[in-house]
Amino acid sequence: MGFFFIKQNILLLLYLICIFLFGCFIRYLEYADYFVRFICEQVDDPKTIFDYIVVGSGSAGSIVARRLAEDKNLKILLLEAGNVGNNILDVPPFGLLLQQTPFDWHYTTVPQKKSCFSMNNNSSIWPMGKMVGGTGMLNNMIYIRGHPEDFNSWFKGKVGYSFDDHVKPYFQKVEDSIYKDNYYSSVHLSDVIFSTKLTDAVLNAAEELKFPFTNLTQNCAEGFGIPKINSRRGQRWTPAHTLYEKDRPNIFLRTGRIVEKVLFHNNYEAYGVKYRYFEDTYIARASKGVILTAGVIGSAKILLHSGIGPRDHLEEIGIETKLNLPVGENLQDHLTTGFDLVLLNNSIDIGIAETLSPFSAVEYFWSGSGPWTTTGCEVVAHLHTTCNRSAAPDIQLMVMNVGLNADRGVHLRKLVGISDETWNEYFELLNDTVTVTILPVLLHPNSKGTVRLKDKHFSSGVLIDPNYLSSAYDRDTLIEGIEIIRRLVDTEAMKSFGAREYWNCYIEHVTSTAYHPVGTCKMGGPDDETAVVDYEFRVKGTNNLFVVDGSILPTLTSGNINGAIFALAEMASDSFKYIDYLSKRKSTAREMFIKRDCCGCT
């Protein structure tokens, strides 16, 4: 017992040293990028007119910029608030370490009234990437389409819409990389390379409970499966990686630019943006369009500061209203709870020793395999509870190969925001045990929240209120999700590892985001008064202003939103190309009597 105690403390000390050194490396990257930009990079001439300005180089922005750049005659300015980063950040587990660093926006919700009671200030921490690659550099890299019903509800007002004709082809375009290892694909998908004994244990337990094994990529049928991930040869791969290709001379990527507002002619025609670079403000101009891809918080914030939003809110903080639209409304998020519900007698998780082993590092850099390729999530399940009234699943289970107490409270709990009191009273008791995490994720919450500005000053930030657990349906569904986990850990397959439940923390106390907020710039038809953008991704009542990111999702998908954003970005790119095509040519008499449809855009 004494040797085990000494070994654990030595490993913990090494872990602390590694965390410290990684933090120093992040600071080095931040200041190095700052120095290079300050010394070497010139500000674009404000008289230069680009064809398109894309704001944000996350997954959606990178795809849109790359697709538009396929026309070599177009000049695309891609503005990113964060830094470029480094190849070492492509190691999949390092995404977790990027949270709460300069590569993260450090968003936190307002104190919640019905949830998050065991979190600091009753608030939920929302990690979002502030770097080239966006939140795709911080997430679990999981690719899931969602259920067809999700998209049917989005496009119910679109004439002639069908999932097979209008949405599915874009998923297939994204999934092409599964079968073709093409460096120039916007997205790379691959199988999970590394897994622990936990995968087999959970899948055997699911089989014991008569749950089917399902293909998570192709459909969203009920069952358990192993997800595809955004990875190429073991490393994290986001659409932003294609921005570094040398054959993209017409994409002008500019980092460290914080866009504050969109500029208009006559209050409706967008012609550029105002952005801050170091301590000065500049203007960038575009002739064909300004495309916001700054995320569910960023895009809403820019629109609100541009005078597009709820009139009463804008007038309250002293911003002139250009368009009265419900920007910042309809905020929804996948909600989860229960970080350490499963305790084990046998070690089948990824321990600190395995993570810190130099052999793991050599294995990763030499062959693109081993523990350093893990995303943390090994198995995903889509399930139906008795609360469900839809064909789409309402609960997701995410099986993680590590517990919140894996590092004895040194780092992981700070990323979630567990309060000291809760940690000391409950989680610290688990420090000498082996835990894994099976998270129940509420897929379609009824609770909706808002994003509001603190005041008219851009630097003041935003007020994020997801209004978690304000609906009884949300509570009931999450509790049923926990009941499914209890059944799962009570099977013979899991008992062989000595699994038992730990129920000291209830959903009202340990409540957390699953990192999938959407909806603040909702997409909808012409008669939808709750919509901010139309089916061509144009902000209603404007010309040349578009939004393409998670903010436009009207509702959450049945699973991680990564895949849906990829597909929407591909769809939007085709829509912009079609609009550009129409602007360059004249209609013929024959076309007056023929319905035109280009790539599903009508």
Question: SS3 for 431?
Answer: coil
The strand pairing partners of 111, in sequence order, are: none
| Residue 370 structure tokens | 């081993």
**From start to end of 293-390, where are the E strands?**
308-309, 323-324, 335-337, 342-344, 377-383
CA distance 142 to 296: 19
Nearest to 272 by CA among 51, 454, 72, 470: 51
Bridge-based pairing of strands 545-547 and 280-292 is: parallel
- 103 alpha carbon, distance to own chain's centre: 14
Report the C-alpha gap between 297 and 550 in whole angstroms.
9
How distant is the alpha carbon of residue 44 from its chain centre? 30
Residue 385 known to bind ligand: no
CA 31 vs CA 37, 52, 133, 137, 138: distances in Å:
10, 30, 19, 19, 20
Q: At what angle do helices 59-68 and 562-584 cross, to 10 degrees?
A: 30
550 has binding-site annotation = yes
Task: Report how far residue 79's alpha carbon sits from residue 102's, in angstroms, rounded to the nearest whole number.
Answer: 17
d(CA 219, CA 419): 39
φ, ψ of residue 193 in degrees (nearest 5): -85, -40
CB atoms within 10 A of CB 540: 16
Please state the φ and ψ torsions of residue 316, each to the nearest 5 degrees: -60, -35
Nearest to 274 by CA among 458, 517, 3: 458
Which residue matches tokens 């009463």? 312
The answer to whether residues 225 and 378 touch, using CB atoms and an 8 Å cutoff, is no
Could you tell me which residues come within 8 angstroms of residue 584 by beta carbon, excluding any fewer than 6 positions away?
Answer: none
d(CA 447, CA 394): 14
Helix (H/G/I), strand (E/B), else coil: 506? coil
| 588 is annotated as contributing to ligand binding | no
Q: How many residues does the chain have?
A: 602
Please give the annotated binding residues for FAD, written as ranges.
135, 259, 550
Please give the annotated binding residues, written as ranges.
135, 259, 550
